[in-house]
Structure 1
Amino acid sequence: MKKISTKITAFIVIATLICACNAVKRVPDGKMLLTKNEITLNDKKITEETIFDQLYQKPNSTFLGYRLRLNLYNLANLNPDSTYQAKFLNHPGKYEKQAKWLSAKQVDRLGQSFFYKGIHNFLTTTGEPPVIIDSVKASKSLLRLKYYYFNKGYFNVKALYNVDTTDVKKARITYAITSGNAFFLDSVKTAISTPVLDSLYKITKANTFIKSGLQYKTEDFENERNRITTNFRNNGAYYFQPNYVTFNIDTIKKANKADITLLINDYSFQQGDSTRTEPFKLYKISDVNIYTDYSSNSNTLNIKDSTVYKNFNLFSQKKLKYKPKAITDAVFITKGSSYADFKTVLTTRYLNNLKIFNYPSIQYEVDKRDTTAQSLIAKVYLTPRKKFSFGTTFDVTHSNIQDFGIGLSVSETIRNVFNGAETLEIAARGNIGASKDLANPRNNFFNVSEYGLDVKLNIPRILLPFNTDRIIPKSMIPSTLITAGFAKQQNIGLDKENFTGGVSYNWTPKINNTARFDLFNTQFVRNLNPRNYFNVYSSSYNALNNLSKQYNTNTTYYDNPVDKNLVIEEGTSGFTKDVLSGNTTFLQPLATADFESIKSIEERRQRLTENDFILATSFTFSKTTKKDLSDNNFYLFKTKIESAGTILSAFAKTTNQKENSNGNYEIFNLEYSEYVKTEFDYIKHWDLSRENIIAFRSFFGIAIPFGNSNYIPFSRSYFSGGSNDNRAWQPYGLGPGSSGALDDFNEANMKIAVSAEYRFKIAGSLKGAVFADAGNIWNVLDNVVDQKSTFTSLNDLKEIALGSGFGLRYDLSFFVIRFDLGFKTYNPANETNRRWFQEYNFSNSVLNFGINYPF
């Protein structure tokens, strides 16, 4: 209690100091602190951020209306070294006294400590110096505003600014703009000197950004210049550049209108001491030379090996190490074709994607053998990466089940392993962790361990016995990934061995679109310690144990005659078998509801302890408009459909395989899973400017068992709750439906999730967020009969849980550290009249830690 009161007192003192700061403390006499910018357009206030971005000076940032960073800066001592030295200058002999029991070196170092200097450096770097009104910057801002509106077509714009005092040493600036009438495009003409370029222009003229009747915008002229340049350079005009495109804008004797003439002159180049002009030429590729082991450190190429493959010339300074097709498949520049910029870009992208070369270099030179001088030789320079590379990573992790984990992995990458630009990666990994969600009778901190081995072979083409170029052309950068893996998990739980393998095909249909087809993805999960089930799933044990005390008559099932707790495993299995067989006399008649409860507990135990074999085929497609990491105005759509067991069932029926006693087929003496699963994931971000962002996510997934299965394997089911889901509940702690999360790990085969988050800047790299998460999981079309856990109609949507809360994020550029505090706003597990805000308090809140944003 004493520690808490001390923290509260410290917080109050710091808050009081900050609030008591004088905002103009460091504003010099005769100067003014900028408190606000106002912009009026034709006497009307405007709020568009793009216009305010034209200003050179902006007021100090605020947090909830308070200038936090300015006041932090004002708290700092800007000259801590001088202040520290002044202590000794003002008190002679003090330095010598301290040096006697600290030493002179330690006294000097004390002046560099956090208490004397570090805290002030922190305040100055975290804080913001006061923004002082500068008339020069205000005039420059005025000029930028005039240019802004000029570029929008207001050629007669006028502007001025006023500084209005609002308080002592405080003022605001008002920028007043009078735009005048906008100019519109009237006639649009062209004057293109080179006939072949004129013909190319006319082919795509309909796509022009410059059209009669449109309001003048400088941006349209820039876009048209780039459009023309792209068109010409993709059709052979190798020497064409954007500066050859100019516009003559004539407003003489025009009332708010402008006549436009597009001008493209002939090619101009330097020859000797004079400048010559001639019509542009359209170039074709006469040869494609590929240098497979180029080194930038060498000025000469000593070719010792070469070959010609499908009109490509491959050269090597040593013995050629690559199958020609593996390289030429990545080159889109072909002999006899027209020069095109996009082919250069696509070739560079594909070659870089092979991951066996450094970033490639592609150069062109005029072929002197062509008397018309309209041919180019394309030279592709490739610098190989090291054939072998060793990597190691050390991770500290946090996941939905593992509260704390330490992981180490080592990997060996072998490039061009079969001389076809393939990449083989062999990785071994190990992990130890702590989980409070598992039974832990010995109270060990590290109670989870796992190790595994993974092998991945990436082939830069579709590996199938037939040609797929018509369906997936090489411009989509196709690849084949073959994987195999083994992992063994040892803990105080069930322990598992996990064998995986698969073949998948990946390609990019368009920029920012990705597609993946898993021809097969197989997983075999073997439980090593199924007898430990009731030690791990304590809630299931407690439910079964309480029922046994009401009915059981077999004293051998108990640990002692007083407590009468079922012994694990003999007692739990014996009592369950007696109930389900119905061949035993009980203390009282067995109620139907209790029979169903015991049956449900046993079905869940069998499902979670049975070994699983999954052979699935799936297709995944994703599309995003995100341009780069700084893009905060985008959407992402991802969908997946998966089918498991269908091929095995078709084979079993075709070959007249026998069914087992359960009426199901087996492979390797194991019932395999059969289901169909589909998912839809949509994420949308809106950039509200000034680092204010609204993020939204919706998810729907459903997996339906059929044929050989009446439930979904645990590894393919859904759960709800956790740092990347509904943050007001712990992982696996929500649902199914309104059941109240009775089990230790609650999962189901249908999920709905919707989340919204408002993100804002607090100070520097510290960001804040408020959020709301809604969703739940349900059982549908499987063997679960509990009405509270199943989804039977749209009325069950009232069981969607709602959590809300707030969080802090610290942006370290390469990743974001995140803390979120979630509150149960609507809990469908409670009684109908007690669902809203009954647990909206700190005692029932959930603190989540995460790396990077949740969506």
Structure 2
Amino acid sequence: MKKLKLMKVLNRNNHKRIYLKTPLKILFIILIAIGGLYSCSVTKYIPEDDHLYTGASLEMISDSIIKHEDALKNELETVLLPAPNKKILGLYPGLYLYYKNQKENPGFINRWLYKKLGEKPVYQSDVETYEIEKLLLNRLENRGFFYSRASSKTEEKGKKASVAYTVKIPQPYKMARYQLDTIPPPAQVEIKDLVSKTSFKEGMRFDLNNMKLERQRIDFKLKEKGYYNFDDSFLIFEADTNTYNNKRYDLFLKLKKEVPKKSIVPYKINNVNVYTSYEISDSIQTETIRYNGKNFIQKEVVFKPKYLDPFITLEADQYYSPENSKNTARRLSTIGAYKYVNIQYQEIDSLATDTLGVLESNIYLSPLNKRALRAELQLVTKSNNFSGPAFAITFSNRNLFGGGETLNTSAKVGYETQIGGANKTGKSSLELGFKNELIFPRVLFPIKINENFFKYAIPKTKMSIGANYLKRTQLYTLLSGTGLFGYMWDANRFITHDINPVSINYTELSNTTAEFDKILEDNPFLKRSFDQQFIPGLTYSFTYNGLVDVHKKHQFYLNTLFDIAGNTVGLLGKQKNADDPKTFLGLEYAQYAKVDLDLHYHLNLGKDQLIATRLFAGYGMAYGNSEVVPFVKQYFSGGPYSVRAFRIRSLGPGTYSDEEGTNDGDFFDKTGNIRLEANIEYRFPIFSFFKGAVFADAGNIWNSKENPTFNGKDKFTSNFINELGMGAGIGLRVDIQSFVIRLDLAAPFHDPSLPEGERYNFNLKAPILNFAIGYPF
């Protein structure tokens, strides 16, 4: 029998490719070229008996039509090594820096530039054409093109040389049959069934990569059926061409010789041991609690077994499954009480047979500190020139009731004062906040819900209550309270649901001054948005986060938020007179529906380069008891996470302009019930953890119903495109292990508040500096 054995492709990539990563580096290169390269050629440094290598070309000559020819050529070109020195505008800046540094005293700047951009020369003598030809043939054989031929020709021109490779490709070998060779039981039955479900088809071209994928598929499926010790390297393919004389072959799958017997038998789990508070140095006496077929081993009852058990999908008498192990580890890690989850298996030889192996599963859980304290210092700046510090502190108490519960208690104090602006009045504000949040890692519902329904993760129940006090001197005092009850659920690694059937907001405006009363009197819409103090509602958020696949070229993110208020209490509302708004428990309540759409698309260019785009659309509709959406639920535009060329709340609504420049009224007025924004940003590395960005933003807010205060300039119309505020800028980010400090400098080039004909003006004289934590989108 004539057989073609599979060959492993050697990747002899001993030469590193150097890529230009950022516009800043390109700028350096251009400066170097202007400063010296035009007057000095690198060719004079090339040794007399050698040539500078300028690269290689590849010509493919085939006897037949090749399917996916471009992909095959791209693969073959990857072995055309070494890569030549990089050229920019016909010059060799990296090579020039190398020769410059061969001098006795090259200088600090030259040494630094060479470290960042320099390249060692690649000469003709570095090119091993014979080895490259062997690699080309090897790649072709791995794709079924056996008996191909490869040749090369070196072309010299002055002090430079290149290589032209030619491959002559015959018709490929194609598969006639694919079948299983002799494999001992019990694995034979399982593998035979898997082979019958293969994607291999008659006439398929011989392809080593497809065969590797087939081995991995069979290994994965066998693992799911309990074959704990199996490995894809135990499988081997053999191709038999002896039966045919027209470049066809039979493909056989078989086991390698001397494969361990235990690798071809399935394993079952005998015991599941859970160490609920495991420490490596632990030598204290433990006790074992038997619950639902599992052994919970701990020093004391810290985490109650009845609450921990639903997170564990491993069970006794269950076949080994790596998927179950992953699910158990992931579900346990989402509780929030453990820093490490480690699952190990131990073979029990005394219970093993010729057809079945036995495993003991040990789950080691290392708890986080029961109590934690986090403090945060913030610096707040606003468009009305109010700035000041804020201090927040959060105390966390984990595993509060022995079921993985987490209680977060947070307090905040902030102070702002007006430190600049043409209308500086010396006003200041004091804010005090307090919030309690309790999270249960399970579903709390009047009707029992089977946790087995949630395959990926068990939903969490959250409830919170908070209060906030805001004192703005010479204006008003605002007291607000919030209450929430809802659920969070990860459906899979991409999708998250967040639903709050109970969401309550209460605000009370008091101690208003004559100045603030005048602001409300001049803007009835604003006054009405403060009148309705009670906001009972329901919110639902759906998130698809494809950005977790950081290596994918195309990445998507989608978040939709639905916020509906007043429907439930509306059934119980009372009304004194026909024209009066309804009340509940003596409180006038708001009714509105609001929907947000936030869509991100990232194009991954590789080498830490990324084009990030974002589109946001939001609409709020007041109805029933409300004429306008409450102030705290309205949209605003501008700021470090919005249109960065405009300050927070300074953009819109529509084409409105505060001609008198009254900062205080302007701060409240610039809200609306419609918001549209679009952003695009090119991100690139600079040096170490310093990253850069070039960006452009567009957006605005509008009202669906005209506010008389704005003289009709705030209403949304079909001309909204011409009413977008637009700006562009550059950014610097310090990115240390996903903790990002961001500085963005932006200037507007289209200001809708200006008269038509004057809106397009790239105002570089008044840029806006945005300081923020995290990326904008």
SS where residue 345 of structure 1 aligns? helix
Taking the aligned partners of 1:409 and 1:173, their CA distance within structure 2 comes to 66
What are the residue-to-residue correspondences of 1:417-432 with 2, within 5 Å?
417-432=400-415
Q: For the Cα contact (< 8 Å) 2:287–2:297, is it kept in 1?
A: yes
Question: Is structure 2 residue 536 aligned with structure 1 residue 619?
Answer: no
SS where residue 367 of structure 2 aligns? coil
What are the residue-to-residue correspondences of 1:63-78 with 2, within 5 Å?
none
The AA in structure 1 aligned to 2:273 is N
Taking the aligned partners of 1:404 and 1:172, their CA distance within structure 2 comes to 63
Taking the aligned partners of 1:382 and 1:325, their CA distance within structure 2 comes to 16
Q: Deviations over 1:738-758 (max 9, x none)?
A: 335774452211222233334
Taking the aligned partners of 2:450 and 2:505, their CA distance within structure 1 comes to 31
SS where residue 295 of structure 1 aligns? coil
Q: For the Cα contact (< 8 Å) 1:495–1:529, is it kept in 2?
A: yes
Q: For the Cα contact (< 8 Å) 1:460–1:480, is it kept in 2?
A: yes
Q: For the Cα contact (< 8 Å) 2:526–2:631, is it kept in 1?
A: no
CA positional deviation for 1:704: 1.0
SS where residue 651 of structure 1 aligns? coil
Question: Is structure 2 residue 655 aligned with structure 1 residue 738?
Answer: yes
Of 56, 60, 63 in structure 2, the residue corresponding to residue 42 of structure 1 is 60
Structure 1 counterpart of 2:264: 280
Q: For the Cα contact (< 8 Å) 1:40–1:46, is it kept in 2?
A: no
* Greater Rg by CA: 1
The AA in structure 1 aligned to 2:728 is G
Of 360, 366, 376 in structure 2, the residue corresponding to residue 377 of structure 1 is 360
Taking the aligned partners of 2:589 and 2:85, their CA distance within structure 1 comes to 64
The AA in structure 2 aligned to 1:281 is V
Higher strand share: 2
Of 251, 264, 284 in structure 2, the residue corresponding to residue 260 of structure 1 is 251
Q: For the Cα contact (< 8 Å) 2:61–2:169, is it kept in 1?
A: no
Structure 2 counterpart of 1:594: none
CA positional deviation for 1:330: 1.2
Q: Deviations over 1:789-838 (max 9, x none)?
A: 2235xx23444526353524445343455555555555555555555xx3
The AA in structure 2 aligned to 1:263 is K
Change (3 A) 1:520 1:216: farther
Taking the aligned partners of 2:162 and 2:689, their CA distance within structure 1 comes to 28
What are the residue-to-residue correspondences of 1:418-817 with 2, within 5 Å?
418-432=401-415, 441=424, 450-469=431-450, 472-473=453-454, 475-490=456-471, 494=476, 496-527=478-509, 530-531=512-513, 534=516, 572=518, 601-607=522-528, 610=531, 612-652=533-573, 657-659=574-576, 663-667=580-584, 669-740=586-657, 743-744=666-667, 745-759=669-683, 769-780=693-704, 787-791=712-716, 795-801=718-724, 803=726, 805-810=728-733, 812-814=735-737, 815-816=739-740
Of 6, 19, 26 in structure 1, the residue corresponding to residue 34 of structure 2 is 19
Question: Is structure 2 residue 49 aligned with structure 1 residue 132?
Answer: no
Taking the aligned partners of 1:333 and 1:524, their CA distance within structure 2 comes to 46
Taking the aligned partners of 1:397 and 1:157, their CA distance within structure 2 comes to 69
Of 215, 223, 233 in structure 2, the residue corresponding to residue 233 of structure 1 is 223
CA positional deviation for 1:772: 4.1
Taking the aligned partners of 1:455 and 1:172, their CA distance within structure 2 comes to 71
CA positional deviation for 1:716: 1.8
SS where residue 475 of structure 1 aligns? coil
Change (3 A) 1:21 1:606: same
The AA in structure 1 aligned to 2:719 is D
The AA in structure 1 aligned to 2:715 is T
CA positional deviation for 1:842: 2.2
Taking the aligned partners of 1:35 and 1:741, their CA distance within structure 2 comes to 66
Taking the aligned partners of 1:63 and 1:531, their CA distance within structure 2 comes to 67
SS where residue 395 of structure 2 aligns? strand
Taking the aligned partners of 1:225 and 1:403, their CA distance within structure 2 comes to 65
CA positional deviation for 1:344: 0.6
Q: Deviations over 1:438-467 (max 9, x none)?
A: 8973569xx565443332222111111212
The AA in structure 1 aligned to 2:561 is K
Structure 1 counterpart of 2:274: 290
Change (3 A) 1:29 1:177: same
CA positional deviation for 1:309: 1.4
Change (3 A) 1:370 1:163: same
Please, what TM-score do these two structures have when normalized by structure 2?
0.80
Taking the aligned partners of 1:166 and 1:769, their CA distance within structure 2 comes to 42
Q: CA RMSD in A?
A: 4.3
CA positional deviation for 1:348: 0.9
Of stretches 20-29 and 704-713 in structure 1, the one that deviates more from structure 2 is 20-29
CA positional deviation for 1:847: 5.0
Q: For the Cα contact (< 8 Å) 1:126–1:764, is it kept in 2?
A: no
Change (3 A) 1:215 1:844: farther
CA positional deviation for 1:700: 1.7
Taking the aligned partners of 2:360 and 2:229, their CA distance within structure 1 comes to 14
Structure 1 counterpart of 2:662: none
Q: For the Cα contact (< 8 Å) 2:726–2:750, is it kept in 1?
A: yes
Q: For the Cα contact (< 8 Å) 1:761–1:768, is it kept in 2?
A: yes
The AA in structure 2 aligned to 1:796 is N
Taking the aligned partners of 2:144 and 2:418, their CA distance within structure 1 comes to 64
Q: For the Cα contact (< 8 Å) 1:26–1:74, is it kept in 2?
A: no
Change (3 A) 1:359 1:49: farther
What are the residue-to-residue correspondences of 1:78-93 with 2, within 5 Å?
none
Taking the aligned partners of 2:531 and 2:374, their CA distance within structure 1 comes to 37
Change (3 A) 1:219 1:339: same
Of 294, 305, 308 in structure 1, the residue corresponding to residue 287 of structure 2 is 305
Q: For the Cα contact (< 8 Å) 2:414–2:431, is it kept in 1?
A: yes
Taking the aligned partners of 2:155 and 2:387, their CA distance within structure 1 comes to 57
Taking the aligned partners of 1:632 and 1:401, their CA distance within structure 2 comes to 41
Q: For the Cα contact (< 8 Å) 2:385–2:421, is it kept in 1?
A: no
Question: Is structure 2 residue 328 aligned with structure 1 residue 347?
Answer: yes
Taking the aligned partners of 1:830 and 1:177, their CA distance within structure 2 comes to 66
Structure 2 counterpart of 1:387: 370
Structure 2 gaps, min length 5: 1-26, 63-68, 660-665
The AA in structure 2 aligned to 1:842 is L
CA positional deviation for 1:243: 1.5
Higher helix share: 1
The AA in structure 1 aligned to 2:374 is G
CA positional deviation for 1:333: 0.4
Structure 1 counterpart of 2:762: 840
Please, what TM-score do these two structures have when normalized by structure 1?
0.73
The AA in structure 2 aligned to 1:262 is L
Taking the aligned partners of 2:101 and 2:476, their CA distance within structure 1 comes to 57
Structure 2 counterpart of 1:30: 47
Taking the aligned partners of 2:86 and 2:514, their CA distance within structure 1 comes to 58
Q: For the Cα contact (< 8 Å) 1:306–1:320, is it kept in 2?
A: no
CA positional deviation for 1:648: 1.8
Q: Deviations over 1:527-553 (max 9, x none)?
A: 45542765xxxxxxxxxxxxxxxxxxx
Change (3 A) 1:125 1:816: farther
Q: How many residues align?
A: 727
Taking the aligned partners of 1:741 and 1:145, their CA distance within structure 2 comes to 70
SS where residue 208 of structure 1 aligns? coil
Question: Is structure 2 residue 412 aligned with structure 1 residue 412?
Answer: no
Q: Deviations over 1:391-449 (max 9, x none)?
A: 334456778888876554333322211011112222334445677798973569xx565
Q: For the Cα contact (< 8 Å) 2:694–2:731, is it kept in 1?
A: no
Of stretches 400-409 and 465-474 in structure 1, the one that deviates more from structure 2 is 400-409
- Give aligned-pair identity as a percent: 24
Taking the aligned partners of 1:25 and 1:775, their CA distance within structure 2 comes to 51
The AA in structure 2 aligned to 1:341 is P
The AA in structure 1 aligned to 2:187 is L
SS where residue 331 of structure 2 aligns? helix
CA positional deviation for 1:651: 2.6
Change (3 A) 1:810 1:149: farther
